[in-house]
Amino acid sequence: MIPVRASVKWLLTAVVVLSGMPLVAQVLSGEEGMLERGGSLPGEVSVEALVDSVTRWGRTEREKVIVLAGWFREYMAIDAGKFLTGGPDGDYREVLKERKGICGDFTGLFGELCNRLGIENERVEGYVAEDGRERGETCQRTNHVWNAVRVAGEWWHVDMMWAVGALGRDAAGEWVFRRHWNSEYVLTRGKQFLTTHMPADPAWQLTDRPYAMDAFIEGNLADGERGDYYNYTDSIAAFRRLPRDERQMLFAWRANRFNPRNKEVMAVTYYNEAVFLLNYNRKTRAVLTRAREYFRIAEEYARDLPGVKESIDEGLRNVEALIK
């Protein structure tokens, strides 16, 4: 089996943390009791027990999400060490046990809990601004992930990591987690959220007239260019019906078309799909030929990405040797 190298596998889920601008809160003042109930649940708990407790307290999908948010508010922390070193997403069970992580860990745990609660959800990859760096530079690859949930028939953004607090430096200059609840990142959507969080796939802007990537990079959604009318609900529904591999490649195509600066999304996606083909299928000539085509597409987009190109070139050499 040709392994998926960790250095390539998690390139699309690097984490950044910064203080976001204020948003209009979507957890209403009358729902504070639901947050408190979630925070009153035990911290050391199994996935099954947590789901059972949330089900008892929350009657509707919205209430269940808010109870979950209360648990995250009370117990989950951003892992400062992992923030500095990076790494692949943790298994949701381990994240629950440790009660800390970075964006992919928060997203994975929250998504698994939603799955078990019967709440439709998706993982959203996208861009956030990084302190001290130009947005045009940071937007050459996706650098954040969060969740979208379908509640009462409508899609909403949920970024539990940004909701629970942020990282800052202590008196010694060390990065530390500072808990500060930001309910505006739970069950939210609209221009204010998109000012800090821009999905790689414009369908996940959850607006019928998507903003242009340049408007986000310039930090000016108010006056920035917007696209023509776009039925994002139909687009999302059609996307979710696709087989896994078609979803991945369509996402990469949309992300690159929306933001041509991001060549990595095409390179990494097609590399991973080639590896998946080789690892989980009989190596017939048809499979090998298809994998070779994926490697070649990945190679085309990786010309200016030395670290990624090395893995792609190795995979291409291996598959061509098998074809011969």
Please check whether residue 51 is in contact with residue 58, taking contact to mean a CB–CB distance below 8 angstroms. Answer: no
Tokens coding 123: 């993982």
Cα–Cα distance, 234 to 208 (Å, whole number): 11
**Sign of the torsion formed by the C-alpha atoms of 202, 103, 175 and 184:** positive
For residues 280 and 3, is the Cβ–Cβ distance under 8 A? no
Look up the pTM and report it. 0.89
What tokens were used for 230?
């776009």
- φ, ψ for residue 174, nearest 5 deg: -85, 145
**Nearest by Cα to 181 from 193, 165, 166, 168:** 165
Predicted pLDDT at 137: 86
pLDDT at site 131:
77
Q: CB under 8 Å to 253, separation ≥6 — which residues?
A: 266
Per-residue confidence in pLDDT tens, the chain, 324 aa? 332 333 333 333 333 444 444 444 477 777 899 999 999 999 999 999 999 999 999 999 999 999 999 999 999 999 999 999 999 999 999 999 999 999 999 999 999 999 999 999 999 999 998 877 788 888 999 999 999 999 999 999 999 999 999 999 999 999 999 999 999 999 999 999 999 999 999 999 999 999 999 999 999 998 888 888 889 999 999 999 999 999 999 999 999 999 999 999 999 999 999 999 999 999 999 999 999 999 999 999 999 998 899 999 999 999 999 998
pLDDT of residue 246: 97
The per-residue pLDDT for 82 is: 96
Residue 2 confidence (pLDDT)? 33
The model's pLDDT over 9-47, given as tens digits with 9 standing for 90+, comes to 333 333 344 444 444 447 777 789 999 999 999 999 999
